[in-house]
Amino acid sequence: MMHHPLIGTPQDRVDGRAKVTGTARYVADFETGAEVLHAHVLNSAIAIGRIRRIDTTRALAVPGVVEVFTHENRPRTAWFSSSYKDDVGPPGKPLRPLYDSSISYSGEPVALVVAESYETARYAANLVEVEYEAKPHETDLLKQLPNSYVPKKRRSGINPPPRPKGSAASALESAPVKHVARYLIAAEHHNPMEMHATTVIREADGKLLIHDKIQGVYASKQYVCSVFGLSEDKVRVVSPFIGGAFGSGLRPHYQLFLAVMAAMALERSVKLVLTRDQQFTIAHRPETWNEVALGAKPDGTLTAIRHKAIGSTSRYEDHQEAVVNWTNLLYSAPDVQLEYELVQLDIETPTDMRAPGAPLGAFAAESAMDELAEKLGVDPLALRLHNDTQTDEVMNKYHTSKELRAACQLGAERFGWRHRPFAPRSMRQGRELIGWGLAFGAWEAQMQKHAARVMLDAEGHCTVGVATADLGTGTYTILAQIAAEALGLSMNKVTVLLGDSALPQAPVSGGSWTAASAGSAVHDACARLKAELLLAAQTQRGSPLVDAKLEEVMFDRERIVLMRDPMRAVSLQAAFAAGGRPRIVADGQAGPDQLTQLRYSSHTHSAVFVEARVDEELGQVRVTRAVSAVAAGRILNPKTARSQVVGGVVWGIGMALHEEAMADHNLGRWMNHNIAEYHIPAHADIHEIDVIFAEEKDMLTSPLGVKGLGEIGIVGTAAAVANAVWHATGRRVRELPMTIDKVL
Ligand code: MOS
């Protein structure tokens, strides 16, 4: 009697076919008939000040233009409860588009043109005349560093730095070996394939069916209900597919507000799709400055850690990230001082971008560890392992599990780290210098409250529903695996429904928590469904399972089988016939366990090894080899999991070498707001990437033993590239991206 496991096996994406054949519908694919109006946003040309005069006459005169909304004629139905805050929103006041004449950043919407066609709306937007009264702006983080401050209110979900331990200052003073340096990471913009967009379908009864680019449909629904004062039954948000989001879709953005506002005012369906350049007006990773000081004994034992970071935010919200805590999470030291501050600039509020904060802090700290290793004359991997923590020294808790050392060993072996010559500039091939670098990384393993519903019908077909989203991460697939394995069905008997606010509630999909949380909720629903099925099977006359307990049976190949005597079994079909119901529905849930959280902290860890080749004459850097070794609890699907880590490593390479949002501080705006000038890695930039998962048993983090791995792949990668560039060239680059001018 063999049970066929699905969890832990590589499975193709269940939504893969729909995606590659174009049948998967994204926001802009909904409602393409003539009845839908098209809207286009006009964005502010100044960074801060007010609109003195706005004239829409010429735009309104264009045939096909239905309305032009500005702060002067926007409907009064729209309101903002002063307490409204989205799930992940920072303290402050969220942007209120077209609220009044004031402007807070370059790119803020100043008008919305609604027309019968997209082309008309876009053309007419050019005819809106705006006269601004500009005030002096400040968009330069480095100039504003002296004005940094500790945020008064903390952002929920983000742990501020802990209180200092001992005295890092005096420990540093007396440290026999020390390293102090500053590290800077450029602002970066999210560039998912799918642009932010909203299609609002106004139904005959006035209800709104909204398709919104969002990482969780409930976030959009709650926003619309709160901001427009609509009751819950008036709004449904359906977004089954997301063309990548990476944090840019965690918060509702202005296109949602504007599309709903127009649809309600005009009593029509409205579609609003942002352009690629407008994508640069809604979300970005904050530019972040770091200073790291490390003190050590001659044997490499750390005596002091000081890590301070200053991140940029807007004038209206205190966006916060966890940047500095990781340093002490990874490395043990008696005297520790961690600080995190903000600087307000006249820019849009930054937003979470894949592993918000962690790759910024890791770039600084993991570069600094390498620089310390150089001073100590020890191997940088040996230095890290020597100072590796056994407990979470930031929160003073035990780790639920931490197989970083095992991951590290596997990664080092695969990469061939032991063959690394100590001195920089030791390896060369033709014109290229070759260097090897590594870095550690960590990311939180979190559980969030999720509900799930599982339905099984008499034909053995199962439908799973959770309102969470699949951002391209593989959520559809892993939930199908979990349900199919639990109920003893084949994968093709399971349909997963996601991204619909009519489904059981889930928060936004982010923070790498979806697999553990939504997965555990589905697992829980399946357990309840199994209990009902067993009851039904036991009502069968002369049931062979009459005295069986749930833990004594397994569900395999559409049968309920007594494990100690596999001849005693009841088919699902027979159970249904006996139960007399056409379908069985079960609700499940999952969430954080308070008691576990009191004693334990839970993280995923990684060790990433990188080979960089640097053209000595051109300064061009190629990352020709990367091994990312990850400890992330139980791996549900090695295939989709590998893709997540590969994606993270690719992005880390982009962060290291390419990605940079450049501001023109004179104009107070982003200059390279397109993917011709904002560089992301292309296929030619990416070479071998190897992913290794270390075995890690952890039944404390989540009922499924899953930790989640959407973000860990990016965390240490940029630091590893910088360390490899140093090893190749002897040149230490402390600013990202490492463009040619910095490497030469
Ligand atoms: Mo992720 S930055 O939490 O979408």
> In which band, very low, low, confident or very high, does the pLDDT at 472 lie, cut at 50, 70 and 90?
very high
> In which band, very low, low, confident or very high, does the pLDDT at 671 lie, cut at 50, 70 and 90?
very high
pLDDT in tens, 343-376: 999 999 999 999 999 999 999 999 999 999 999 9
User: How much distance in Å is there from the Cα of 246 to the middle of ligand 1?
Assistant: 5
Q: Which residue of 189, 248, 709, 711 sits with most ligand 1 atoms within 8 Å of its CB, as the best mutation to test the pocket?
A: 711
Q: Which atom of ligand 1 is nearest to the CA of 710?
A: 1
First-residue to last-residue Cα distance in the chain: 64
User: How much distance in Å is there from the Cα of 282 to the middle of ligand 1?
Assistant: 15
> In which band, very low, low, confident or very high, does the pLDDT at 82 lie, cut at 50, 70 and 90?
low
Strand partners, 295: 178, 304
CB 462 within 8 A of CB 495: yes
* pLDDT of 154 over the 90 cut: yes
Q: Which residue of 86, 155, 189, 250 sits with most ligand 1 atoms within 8 Å of its CB, as the best mutation to test the pocket?
A: 250
Nearest alpha carbon to residue 360 among 36, 737, 612, 1: 737
Beta carbons within 8 Å of 370's beta carbon, 6+ residues apart: 380, 437, 439, 719, 722, 723, 726
Q: Which atom of ligand 1 is nearest to the CA of 355?
A: 2
User: How much distance in Å is there from the Cα of 486 to the middle of ligand 1?
Assistant: 29
| pLDDT value, residue 130 | 98
Q: Which atom of ligand 1 is nearest to the CA of 352?
A: 2
Question: Residue 676: is it exposed, middle or buried by C-beta count within 10 angstroms (0-12/13-18/19+)?
Answer: exposed
* pLDDT of 2 over the 60 cut: no
Q: Which residue of 88, 155, 189, 246 sits with most ligand 1 atoms within 8 Å of its CB, as the best mutation to test the pocket?
A: 246
For residue 138, the 8-state DSSP code is -
> In which band, very low, low, confident or very high, does the pLDDT at 80 lie, cut at 50, 70 and 90?
confident
* pLDDT of 412 over the 80 cut: yes
Q: Which atom of ligand 1 is nearest to the CA of 711?
A: 1
Give the integer Cα–Cα distance in Å for 239 and 220.
10
Give the integer Cα–Cα distance in Å for 82 and 192.
31
Q: Which atom of ligand 1 is nearest to the CA of 356?
A: 2
pLDDT in tens, 190-200: 999 999 999 99
Token reading at 548: 């069986």
Give the integer Cα–Cα distance in Å for 486 and 572.
13
Active-site annotation holds for 403: no
Determine which one of 188, 393, 660, 711 is catalytic: 711
In this prediction, does ipTM exceed 0.95? yes
Q: Mean pLDDT throughout 182-188?
A: 98
Nearest alpha carbon to residue 236 among 224, 248, 244: 224
Q: Which run of H or E residues covers position 201?
A: strand 197-202
User: How much distance in Å is there from the Cα of 357 to the middle of ligand 1?
Assistant: 11
| pLDDT value, residue 3 | 61
CB 643 within 8 A of CB 471: no
* pLDDT of 740 over the 60 cut: yes
Mean pLDDT is lowest, of 82-86, 98-102, 449-453, 598-602, for 82-86
* pLDDT of 170 over the 80 cut: yes
Average pLDDT, whole number, for the chain? 96
Token reading at 265: 């005012």
Residue with token string 């500790």: 150
Q: Is the alpha carbon torsion for 523, 526, 530, 532 positive or negative?
A: positive
User: How much distance in Å is there from the Cα of 152 to the middle of ligand 1?
Assistant: 24
Q: How far is CA 548 from CA 4, 385, 584, in A?
A: 21, 50, 20
Cis peptide bond prior to 252, omega within 30° of 0: no
* pLDDT of 500 over the 80 cut: yes
The domain segmentation of the chain, as residue ranges, is: 16-22+447-591, 31-136+193-245+249-279, 144-188+284-446+598-743
pTM above 0.95, yes or no: yes
CATH of 31-136+193-245+249-279, one of 2.40.50.140, 3.40.50.2300, 3.90.1170.50, 3.50.50.60: 3.90.1170.50
Mean pLDDT is lowest, of 88-97, 137-146, 307-316, for 88-97
| pLDDT value, residue 1 | 43
- 353 vs 34, which has greater pLDDT? 353
Residue with token string 């394939």: 193
Q: Mean pLDDT throughout 485-495?
A: 96
For residue 331, the 8-state DSSP code is B
User: How much distance in Å is there from the Cα of 426 to the middle of ligand 1?
Assistant: 39
Q: Mean pLDDT throughout 69-82?
A: 84
Q: Which atom of ligand 1 is nearest to the CA of 248?
A: 4
The strand order across the sheet containing 49-55 reads: 102-103, 49-55, 129-134
Give the integer Cα–Cα distance in Å for 291 and 311.
12
Nearest alpha carbon to residue 11 among 541, 502, 490, 681: 490
Q: Whose CA is nearest to atom 4 of ligand 1?
A: 247
User: How much distance in Å is there from the Cα of 355 to the middle of ligand 1?
Assistant: 6
Within this chain, domains 31-136+193-245+249-279 and 144-188+284-446+598-743 share the same CATH topology: no
Ligand 1 is surrounded, with C-beta below 6 A, by 215, 246-247, 250, 352-354, 356, 510-511
Domain 16-22+447-591 architecture: 2-Layer Sandwich (3.30)
- Judged by phi (left if over 0) then psi (alpha if -120 to 50, else beta), residue 442 lies in beta
Give the integer Cα–Cα distance in Å for 521 and 703.
9
Q: Mean pLDDT throughout 621-626?
A: 98
> What does 320-346 look like in DSSP terms, one character per residue?
----SHHHHHHB--SEEEEEEEEEE-S
The type of residue at 326 is W
Fold of the domain built from segment(s) 144-188+284-446+598-743:
Aldehyde Oxidoreductase; domain 4 (3.30.365)
